[in-house]
Amino acid sequence: MKRLIENIRNKLSEKGLKVTPQRISILEAIYSLNNHPTADNIIEFIRVSHPNIATGTVYKVLDTLVENKLIKKVKTDRDILRYDGIVDNHHHIYCSECDLIEDYKDEELDVLLKEYFNKKQFEGFKLEDIVVQIRGTFDKC
Amino acid sequence: MKRLIENIRNKLSEKGLKVTPQRISILEAIYSLNNHPTADNIIEFIRVSHPNIATGTVYKVLDTLVENKLIKKVKTDRDILRYDGIVDNHHHIYCSECDLIEDYKDEELDVLLKEYFNKKQFEGFKLEDIVVQIRGTFDKC
DNA sequence: TCCTTAATGAGAGTCATTCTCCTTTAGTGA
DNA sequence: TCACTAAAGGAGAATGACTCTCATTAAGGA
Ligand SMILES: [Mn+2]
Ligand SMILES: [Mn+2]
Ligand SMILES: [Zn+2]
Ligand SMILES: [Zn+2]
């Protein structure tokens, strides 16, 4: 807990960002809300301990965190943005029945993709990353 | 041209959907605008020949077409929805510099993925499809 | 401790999408 | 061919996620 916040402070400083209570609690919220929260999920979570934070501030901080690669945006086919506190490359399982997005990590898949894309020529294109979208339905849903 | 519209009429009828001029021109627009158009791109395209179509109608028709699997939504990390007239499974290259989304089709990749996911156990999950998001920057951008 | 400048708060503004409700029309069957 | 009916479309208001503006506050460096 103390350690989490210390860790967040360090991440912000390392990027040359001012360490503000708002930025700390937003990152804390993203790390605590496991499943790819929306701005609204984050605001709701934060308001408990930090009732006066402005929604505009939350959106601004989220943008800053994305720009500095402390968080990522998650691609969806809805018109509400979702965020991911895990910045290491990983894949996503999208539920067709609800808006659940689960992480999927597997070294074997990463190796497979790496080998495939190393072999392929992408003329005039600088490859940055590969994310696999796995879509389907969970029995529980 | 005539053939395209005849083809669209058939697709609609096959799904048990009423064949209306609005639905025809929206599908026509999606097929003509190659790169994963937004609702707004579609409206702009259609207004030339069909100036009175209501925006609400366009959104409603798009929903209907998605539900009936005549088109698909494309996942993005923006808050504007984009659509795809190609319903056969394929992958997407996202440009980091602009909002270009190119199709990527390669049989070898599909075989690779198919073999990998056949082998993996997904307990309590019914797999529907796999789409690879390739992100990077085009030199031209 | 003070200063500078970036960050935040409050609230108005924007705009993509949805909703409501009335009118029109596609498709069916006499 | 015609009339009927349910489904679809038009107009425009409503919604809500996100952005903007600008005055105030506070983080971090001197
Ligand atoms: Mn994730
Ligand atoms: Mn496509
Ligand atoms: Zn689900
Ligand atoms: Zn580009």
A141 lies in some domain: no
Domain boundary among A84, A101, A121: A84
Residues from chain A that touch B104, judged by Cβ atoms under 8 A, are: none
CATH number of the domain residue A117 falls in: 3.30.1490.190
A42 lies in some domain: yes
- Are A128 and B109 inside 8 Å of each other by CB? no
**C1' of C28 to CA of B69 (Å):** 26
pLDDT tens digits for chain A (141 residues)?
679 999 999 999 999 999 999 999 999 999 999 889 999 999 999 999 999 999 999 999 999 999 999 999 999 999 999 999 999 999 999 999 999 999 999 999 999 999 999 999 888 999 999 999 999 999 998
| Model confidence, pTM | 0.93
Q: Please count the structural domains in chain B.
A: 2
Residues B10 and B65 in one domain: yes
Go through B88-127 and write b for each residue having 16 or more CB atoms within 10 A of its CB, e for each that does not. Answer: eebbbbbbeeeeebeebeeeebeebbeebeeeeeeeebee
Asked if the C-beta of A133 comes within 8 angstroms of chain B's C-beta atoms, the answer is: yes
Structural domain of B52 = 2-84
A40 lies in some domain: yes
Residues B16 and B78 in one domain: yes
